[in-house]
Chains A and B, each alone.
Chain A
């Protein structure tokens, strides 16, 4: 490893690696936004990356380096040694954005990575710092890409037509001049595929699930957290055990029983089953929170003549509103996203929940932009809730432990 501990070795290596990362990122980005062909080039990346990496240590004028790299990037993009190959159909603008974007995206981060590192021998700290900065930069690009690309593709596909999608699968640019016409897949879903009713079913099933879950789990959680009785320990442990039974194993007998009793294909059956899958989670989250509440307040209430139920209603619940919000959000999310039970138990299109409705769109006869529009319709409400109430949601996720 010590052979690498020189500014003029580490710099070019990190530079070349970063050049590849940058070139790939930009090529994907430009392809996805314009639909034109961009691809990273091997020799251009090695050349420019090594140059910038050599110049980066002890560099006091990062902007000059960036400028130079940008000019070189644009110039090289017309040669076979381009870091990003630009298709011939693309005009000047493509070359400029690829070259300048690459130059700046290469030079600036590499300068930051090598900041404080001398040209000559590096000590362990300087070398590790440089590597860590490189990894950090890579991490931001990597994670943002893997998370953002699927969602970007989901939204953009839903706004296109079948013809456009087949003509160029890479073209995600949208033609804003169509105005509301962009949303034709959505209006068709709501008009012809009954998605309005699916959404409403999903919504009220989820809300009912939240209320039923709370009604069952609040008293249960309070009992486990506050009251002393034999078997308390065993009980609070076995709540976790229920987590560990796979849903598909339960779904099979439930399917059989529901088929025999006629509860299959009914919203009543779904509303009966969903809360049971969420009660253990909710109970576990709530008992943890109840334990953290000061017991003295409740004892004061008891002294003042309230009975236990009144204590729960008048003291414990108002104190645990934040926890209730987290639990409700989490349960709502589980119920809204639930797929397996809805898929197995519902066959009648008039009773579909949203997830079941989307599953029914997955056939070769239905164009994929409809499928993606359905996916967007299911995702947007959860995302809106999540982003709007992120604090509660994150707390819910952490407290609800790792149920997936």
Chain B
């Protein structure tokens, strides 16, 4: 007699469920793969490449076509061809065109063939920056102007060629990283990033905690205030950043006018243009814009704290500060540390705020702004990618810390 044993391994039902799960996840995974994983790999690849903004457009042959001497007996079809790149040759260049009716070709250059109306010229290799002009004498039959239009506009000439793309070959360099680390401002960038991230994160948490304590009681208008306090986070960053810039403008900003009028300063202050004030101001902006988030989370946690504990503390004679210190704070420690880790990473990643406020000037260039500066302002995509790699390595360290600590806390 066989004894009944529980089935081992996965049965057909479980397999079907797993298959369904994967097929449901497939679209998401593919898209994330395409837009997150691939670009990340690409960043590593590019960071070892000597590539500038101009190299993004691969070398291509360019052709211009015109008709000369149209009113004379023998007109000339002219093709002027050049290589768009000054550095890379173009191989296997082929020009094709369709000649309109009424054009009779007298003589063809050696490299060209004509089948019916289809003209084809095998140009071969074009030197870097090379130019070539093909002239084909032709008899015109009909209105020269109409034919000119037909030749120049109606049948567009096409030209193709092959060239190496700098991004696809196997030429590597460490130049980008050397550029990034050797630059005199590298340590300034690191300092600005650390200051902005640490002070911004802690500031937003503390201010958020204060705001949450204010609203952690029910009174009329509590909902309105809560909505109002979320405004900075909900409004588009571009709108609030420009408002701050205008408000703090050194020449005609209201804040400067106010400070002068109140006798705080005699000269106007260039809030976003002076070291180290600019860095402090972007950090203040960061705190202003993101305190609502910590406020929202801390408030939600506060309202879920059991009220009995406070009553027990009252019976024991605890004072308000003692209740906060020994009851509320330990209960909030979980959410505070989770918020700290998450906000730390996201503040580290923040780009648009500083970019819009100062453009990275006056000592406010953080690592993320540096990516943009290197890639687009200096037009050195490779160096930008190298900075991005530095960012990614920092993030790897952060996420390791994140998962070590967050797994202990109630997950968000």
Contacts and interface: CB of A to CB of B under 8 A. Distances in A.
Interface of A: 24, 27-28, 31-32, 37, 39-40, 124-125, 128-129, 132, 136, 139-140, 143-144, 146-151, 153-154, 157, 165-166, 168-170, 172, 215-217, 219-220, 222-224, 227-230, 232, 235, 237, 241-250, 252-254, 256-257, 259-260, 273, 275-277, 279-280, 283, 308, 333, 336-337, 339-340, 354-355, 358-359, 362, 368, 371-372, 374-376, 378-379, 382-383, 386-387, 390, 393-394, 397-398, 401-404
B351 interface: yes
Contacts of A154: 239-240, 243
A132 B210 CA distance: 12
CB-CB nearest 9 A-B residue pairs: A246-B349, A375-B239, A253-B39, A229-B18, A219-B24, A227-B21, A220-B28, A223-B24, A276-B35
Contact of A227 (B17, B31, B384): B17
Main secondary structure of the interface of B (DSSP, over half): helix
Contacts of B261: 31, 37, 39, 170
Contact of A379 (B17, B18, B40, B236): B236
Interface stretch (B67-75, B305-313, B339-347): B339-347
B303 to A, nearest CB: 12
A37 to B, nearest CB: 5
B279 interface: no
Given A227-B20, A355-B238, A247 B46 contact: no
B25 A397 contact: no
B348 to A, nearest CB: 8
B263 to A, nearest CB: 6
B27 A219 contact: yes
Interface of B: 14, 17-18, 20-22, 24-25, 27-29, 31-32, 34-36, 38-40, 42-43, 46, 56-58, 167, 210-211, 213-214, 223, 225-240, 242-244, 246-247, 252-254, 256-258, 261-263, 288-290, 293-294, 296-297, 300, 319-321, 339, 342-343, 345-346, 348-352, 355-356, 368, 371-372, 375, 381, 384-385, 388, 391-392, 395, 398-399, 402-403, 412
A168 B257 CA distance: 8
A122 to B, nearest CB: 11
B320 A132 contact: yes
B263 A260 contact: no
Contacts, number: 275
Given A229-B22, A390-B227, A398-B297, A254 B35 contact: yes
16 contacts: A39-B261, A139-B211, A140-B225, A219-B24, A223-B22, A228-B21, A230-B18, A232-B21, A244-B349, A245-B392, A249-B388, A372-B242, A372-B243, A382-B235, A404-B290, A404-B346
Contacts of A39: 261-263
B246 A153 contact: yes
Contacts of A215: 27
A404 B244 contact: no
Contact of A378 (B43, B58, B211, B238): B238
B243 A150 contact: yes
A249 B40 contact: yes
Contacts of A378: 236, 238-239
Main secondary structure of the interface of A (DSSP, over half): helix
A245 B371 CA distance: 14
Contacts of A220: 24-25, 27-29
B28 A250 contact: no
Contacts of A170: 254, 257-258, 261
Contacts of B296: 394, 397-398
Given A39-B261, A375-B242, A219 B25 contact: yes
Contacts of B392: 245, 249
B214 A139 contact: yes
B36 A250 contact: yes
Given A244-B345, A254-B39, A147 B229 contact: yes
A169 B167 contact: no
B116 to A, nearest CB: 32
B239 A376 contact: yes
A358 B239 contact: yes
Given A150-B247, A244-B399, 5 more contacts: A140-B214, A147-B228, A154-B243, A220-B28, A246-B368
Contact of B288 (A31, A146, A242, A246): A146
A333 B262 contact: no
Contact of B319 (A125, A375, A393, A397): A125
Contacts of B388: 248-249, 252
Nearest to A151: B231
A339 B236 contact: yes
B227 A386 contact: yes
A253 B349 contact: no
A246 B24 contact: no
Contacts of A223: 20-22, 24-25
Given A227-B24, A242-B36, A250-B35, A383 B235 contact: yes
A253 B233 CA distance: 28
Given A223-B24, A252-B384, A259 B35 contact: no
Contacts of A403: 346
A276 B28 CA distance: 8
Nearest to A275: B31
Contacts of A235: 25
Given A249-B40, A371-B242, A375-B242, A340 B351 contact: yes
A247 B237 CA distance: 15
A333 B237 CA distance: 11
A283 B32 CA distance: 12
B230 A153 contact: no
A283 B236 contact: no
Contact of B371 (A144, A168, A249): A249
A158 to B, nearest CB: 10
B230 A386 contact: yes
B257 A386 contact: no
Contact of B236 (A232, A279, A355): A355
Contacts of B254: 32, 153, 169-170, 172
B189 to A, nearest CB: 14
Contact of A383 (B234, B288, B289, B372): B234
A358 B238 contact: yes
Nearest to A362: B242
A283 B352 contact: no
A256 B25 contact: no
B346 A216 contact: no
A211 B28 CA distance: 14
A152 to B, nearest CB: 10
Contacts of B27: 215-216, 219-220
B352 A340 contact: yes
Contact of B17 (A125, A228, A248, A260): A228
A219 to B, nearest CB: 4
Contacts of A230: 18
A260 B56 contact: yes
